[in-house]
Amino acid sequence: MSRCICLLFLLMCALSAAQAQGSRERSAASYVERGNGWLNKGELERAIDDYSLAIVFDGGHAGAYHNRGLARLRKDDLDGALQDFDRSLELNPRLAMALLGRGLARCGKGEIAAGLADFNRAAVVA
């Protein structure tokens, strides 16, 4: 009997963990969506805050890093944008939009050859 209780307990823990993960992913998606709204309105700090919250909930969300990079790029925070685009590309190396964003940030920093390389790579993966 105690073995059945143990197995039931383990099953309940596994289900609870799966539900929590799904909830975290839904929360991340909600923050990305809200951040997109702020970005479209030009509210860059609010967008960055929401993308950062999305990353807290789902650190593997390449889109959240990409979008935060866009907001930082629009704020002329080129170093922050580069960090976000790099992380986005670590998570999804074929994300052409992140390559384009990184290319723009690199060109903005005067790294023209590296920026052009990103633009060329984006054309290949798109």
* Angle ∠(98,120,79) on CA atoms, nearest 5: 40
95 contacts 88 by C-beta, under 8 angstroms: yes
Enclosing domain of residue 31: 2-125
Contacts of 115 (CB under 8 A, 6+ apart): 102, 103, 104, 105, 106, 107
The pLDDT of residue 41:
97
- Per-residue pLDDT, 126: 78
Q: What is the pLDDT of residues 68-81, one digit of tens each?
A: 999 999 999 999 99
Asked whether 54 and 61 are in contact (CB, 8 A), the reply is yes
> 16: how many CB neighbours lie within 10 A of its CB?
10
Look at residue 25 in the predicted model and tell me its pLDDT. 79
The C-alpha atoms of residue 72 and residue 2 are separated, in whole angstroms, by 56
Does 36 have pLDDT greater than 70?
A: yes
Q: What is the pTM of this model?
A: 0.81
Total number of domains in the chain: 1
CATH value at residue 109: 1.25.40.10
